[in-house]
Chain A
């Protein structure tokens, strides 16, 4: 039994029902081995709403007029905020060295739009901004970077731009000194001119109306998200990306997140030793 629900006096019995609802609304799937983890995260929310059972909270999320606001709390509770700068950098190297130059050559005068679709506290879109900055692309082209996440708390952190040591585990000390200002004994703040390259907003990947304005990007990063999704949620999300992206575009997913069995709309390409999915006229 979940430790939190035990200490908070919440009886067992409707965990699967609630987990399935969370899955359908957020895409995040908690199997039997992880269901206690979900209950640990949701138990405080149940109590804060004045309920004594998960079933009451399930009905609140499903039917109550205040459910939309409560889903924000759920997203904040279950979001996986674990990320860091320069993560899986081979893909971002391929972006700056091959994809961006080729795209700009094919679309002169147009703005290149890049979207980090589950950016947590912002490390990924800021890494993209740093890499593009180092390659001088901001001086040579119009590039727009957007970052979104389902968790409003994570996006607040991204907007604040203050990071702790764990966010720098793959970033060299030299780069940290160049792009960040020490803000506290163990915290650093991103330089404002770099942070201004990224626009952050809250958006749930399962909600098409929230995603549509962002998904028209030429390049979408959706890395280390699908590992928490069920196959049906992944397929739905990828179809949604394909529907809203321009005719030609690129989708970046994490190394462990193969889409080969789940999509026929994107084709896997090896670009500069990085695996990237391409949407294009040749891909049916």
Chain B
């Protein structure tokens, strides 16, 4: 029987009504034409005044389900009962407000309104009769307030089952009549299940009923309900006279992973019915029983069923499936992209489930023939971007030079680059020449990827061509230096030294890092004269190398460069002398900290963190009053490292009042290491500041106990 008592409406995210079903029109007297496309607040004007809007917003924002109980909220839409009631002048409504999902997004609301006026009447009557019973049976309404959850559960179940068939039928018809997304029905069925309404037996009744539309919707819903009790009925429905019912029953059996349906599904696949064989094989894949794999393999030979069979085998196939798929790949007319994807998926499943992906790779490498490799190469040249990854994956596991050459064609593709680089690097120096060729490619992305791959392969045969590219391709300078660093061959020393004179500080630093990584003993002879080069960039770089290695023959010059006319050279020298373990360092740094330009003062403050605290603390505390924010910033960090308790009052002042937030934050972090009490009071201030960085600092740093540590 179709319910006259449960209406459904849906809204979009802005609470504008989209669907207003016929039942709701009967219940409320509001016609669909007057409600559809109207804001909910217009259709129910007193919604806000009754404080109900917040329930709708809560569902939209948080994706929860809200239930408006008739005992408490009485009704959502004010209207008289369909049947006049002696107790109620307005219809009593049980209302469920649920999110309407499309994919993972909340697209709107689905609201079910059930007229429960008569039910409440009956319950009141029933309760009245119970009250007159001498045995003192618990009354139904009272049971809802019982302290025992079992009593409450039984009461809800008894009440809700009164409405289940009507509500579900109304929803099923609403989906059908309004051509709505199926997500609407499932959202609603899930809501009904949450309120413990038994949807299962009602859906089974519909699956066996006379209305084929309802049978279809019921099959669809049963597939979504994760309830194995539906399997026998769905199996029976695969023999339904209506082919659409059969189709959806097959899908539902797949979703329910019904192993007991395997024989019937194979039978349907073997029927080669164009409409049913496809979903039958898909369902076999979804059921996921590995023993079915050998029964699916024969379908690979059928051109019509090859695609679902390959997809199913990727989900459940074993080594026999791999061999069957590769046999197809070795065919001159192979459906290469399809088979490649199946093999890759199968590998990923083995790797994820058993950590045995290498077994699948071994089978593949042993069985693939030249025709198969050529098929993959041909497909790589023409495939759509979405289909390329499996081809790259398979070609990357071949030793064939033709396969690796094909991979280098696609180095410029941003989506595939990582995969191709991994594949090429696995081949090691055997692909060096191929990659060197790609250094001349027109596409800068391809050249850049080839540089990266050559660096990772670490073959010194690439050095001459990488060096030549340094002159031709300035945008690739840093990646080339990185590659030369990884290769770590003295042959790179000359080109790296030649980069020290560049005006770009980043390139100079990269070249210095690469030379430091080389660590060739004879470098010292090259570095000594460079410390006095006329180019300040070269002097700066040479200081960094000399300081890094602590060359004894360079120490005097490094100290003298602390007074170089060029500020960048001075800064580099200042940064290095702290590592030289020379007693003069503290004095030189103190002079720089008090009298040089801001960048050098900041470097001096930072360098002091590497010296003995006793030799620098007083100077650092004085520098906390420096006019430059970065000098104060690096000074604070050095004091934090030294944990100097005498700096606490000044750090406390900076944390409170410094004009620059970064200084306040590092001052607070320093206090956390030095004086927990002061830090705690700053933390309270930061938390209340409204500034996200200050608040983050206050919550991310652990506070020690009071007093210096």
Is B571 within 8 A of A9, CB to CB?
A: no
A43 at the interface (CB under 8 A from B): yes
Is B633 within 8 A of A59, CB to CB?
A: yes
Chain A residues, CB < 8 A from B443:
166
Is A7 within 8 A of B482, CB to CB?
A: yes
Is A7 within 8 A of B513, CB to CB?
A: yes
B509 at the interface (CB under 8 A from A): yes
Known: A50-B571, A166-B443. A261 touches B105 (CB 8 A): yes
**Residues of A within 8 Å of B, CB-based: how many?**
21
**8 A Cβ contacts from A95-153 to B:** none
Residue in chain B with minimal CB distance to A47: B506
Is A7 within 8 A of B478, CB to CB?
A: yes
Is B442 within 8 A of A165, CB to CB?
A: yes
Chain B residues, CB < 8 A from A6:
482
CA of A166 to CA of B444 in the docked complex: distance in angstroms? 10
CA of A44 to CA of B504 in the docked complex: distance in angstroms? 9
Chain A residues, CB < 8 A from B660:
63-64
Q: A13 to nearest B CB, angstroms?
A: 12
**Residues 584-601 of chain B, each 1 if its beta carbon lies under 8 Å from chain A, else 0:** 000000000000000100
Q: A280 to nearest B CB, angstroms?
A: 18
A160 at the interface (CB under 8 A from B): no
Main secondary structure of the interface of B (DSSP, over half): helix
A171 at the interface (CB under 8 A from B): no
A236 at the interface (CB under 8 A from B): no
Chain A residues, CB < 8 A from B3:
none
Within 8 Å by CB of A3, from B105, B442, B482, B506, lies: B482
**Residues 35-79 of chain A, each 1 if its beta carbon lies under 8 Å from chain B, else 0:** 000000001110110100000100100111000000000000000
Chain B residues, CB < 8 A from A283:
none
A264 at the interface (CB under 8 A from B): yes
Chain A residues, CB < 8 A from B452:
3
CA of A9 to CA of B514 in the docked complex: distance in angstroms? 11
Q: A19 to nearest B CB, angstroms?
A: 15
**Residues of B within 8 Å of A, CB-based: how many?**
29
Within 8 Å by CB of A8, from B105, B442, B506, lies: B506
Residue in chain B with minimal CB distance to A34: B414
A87 at the interface (CB under 8 A from B): no
Is A44 within 8 A of B662, CB to CB?
A: no
CA of A44 to CA of B629 in the docked complex: distance in angstroms? 22
A199 at the interface (CB under 8 A from B): no
A4 at the interface (CB under 8 A from B): yes
Is B599 within 8 A of A43, CB to CB?
A: no
Is A43 within 8 A of B629, CB to CB?
A: no
Is B662 within 8 A of A59, CB to CB?
A: yes
Is A48 within 8 A of B505, CB to CB?
A: yes
Is A8 within 8 A of B509, CB to CB?
A: yes
CA of A261 to CA of B509 in the docked complex: distance in angstroms? 47
**Residues 371-397 of chain B, each 1 if its beta carbon lies under 8 Å from chain A, else 0:** 000000000000000000000000000
Q: B63 to nearest A CB, angstroms?
A: 16
Residue in chain B with minimal CB distance to A48: B505
B485 at the interface (CB under 8 A from A): yes
CA of A9 to CA of B602 in the docked complex: distance in angstroms? 19
Q: B200 to nearest A CB, angstroms?
A: 34
B14 at the interface (CB under 8 A from A): yes
**Residues 497-530 of chain B, each 1 if its beta carbon lies under 8 Å from chain A, else 0:** 0000000111101100110000000000000000
Within 8 Å by CB of B481, from A7, A43, A63, lies: A7
Is A62 within 8 A of B661, CB to CB?
A: yes
Within 8 Å by CB of A9, from B513, B629, B665, lies: B513
Q: A65 to nearest B CB, angstroms?
A: 9
Residue in chain B with minimal CB distance to A46: B506
Residue in chain B with minimal CB distance to A4: B478
Chain A residues, CB < 8 A from B693:
62
Chain B residues, CB < 8 A from A261:
105
CA of A6 to CA of B513 in the docked complex: distance in angstroms? 9
**Residues 159-193 of chain A, each 1 if its beta carbon lies under 8 Å from chain B, else 0:** 00000011000000000000000000000000000
Chain A residues, CB < 8 A from B479:
3-4
CA of A4 to CA of B504 in the docked complex: distance in angstroms? 14
CA of A261 to CA of B629 in the docked complex: distance in angstroms? 45
The CB with the most chain A CB atoms within 10 A, among B442, B478, B514, B571, is that of: B478
Within 8 Å by CB of B478, from A44, A62, A165, A264, lies: A44
CA of A48 to CA of B599 in the docked complex: distance in angstroms? 12
Is B513 within 8 A of A264, CB to CB?
A: no
Is B599 within 8 A of A8, CB to CB?
A: no
Chain B residues, CB < 8 A from A43:
478, 506
Within 8 Å by CB of B661, from A8, A48, A63, lies: A63
**8 A Cβ contacts from A1-25 to B:** 3-4, 6-9
Residue in chain A with minimal CB distance to B107: A261
Is A7 within 8 A of B661, CB to CB?
A: no
Residue in chain A with minimal CB distance to B506: A44
Q: B76 to nearest A CB, angstroms?
A: 26
CA of A261 to CA of B104 in the docked complex: distance in angstroms? 13
CA of A185 to CA of B603 in the docked complex: distance in angstroms? 47
Is B506 within 8 A of A48, CB to CB?
A: yes
The CB with the most chain B CB atoms within 10 A, among A43, A44, A48, A264, is that of: A44
Is B513 within 8 A of A48, CB to CB?
A: no
CA of A226 to CA of B443 in the docked complex: distance in angstroms? 24
Chain B residues, CB < 8 A from A47:
505-506, 509
Known: A44-B506, A62-B661. A4 touches B482 (CB 8 A): yes
CA of A251 to CA of B449 in the docked complex: distance in angstroms? 36
Chain A residues, CB < 8 A from B442:
165-166
Q: B530 to nearest A CB, angstroms?
A: 20
CA of A264 to CA of B513 in the docked complex: distance in angstroms? 53
**Residues 233-265 of chain B, each 1 if its beta carbon lies under 8 Å from chain A, else 0:** 000000000000000000000000000000000
Q: A23 to nearest B CB, angstroms?
A: 14
Q: B199 to nearest A CB, angstroms?
A: 30
Residue in chain B with minimal CB distance to A10: B509
Is A63 within 8 A of B662, CB to CB?
A: yes
Is A9 within 8 A of B509, CB to CB?
A: yes
Is B599 within 8 A of A7, CB to CB?
A: no
Is A8 within 8 A of B510, CB to CB?
A: yes
CA of A261 to CA of B14 in the docked complex: distance in angstroms? 12
CA of A45 to CA of B602 in the docked complex: distance in angstroms? 18
Residue in chain A with minimal CB distance to B634: A56
**New contact pairs (8) apart from A6-B482, A166-B442, CB-CB < 8 Å:** A7-B513, A8-B478, A43-B478, A44-B504, A50-B505, A50-B599, A56-B633, A62-B661
5 examples of A-B residue contacts, CB within 8 angstroms: A4-B479, A48-B504, A59-B661, A62-B661, A166-B442
**What residues make up the interface of B, taking CB atoms closer than 8 Å to A?**
14, 105, 442-443, 452, 478-479, 481-482, 485, 504-507, 509-510, 513-514, 571, 599, 602-603, 629, 633, 660-662, 665, 693
4 closest cross-chain pairs (CB), A and B:
A44-B506, A59-B662, A47-B506, A7-B482
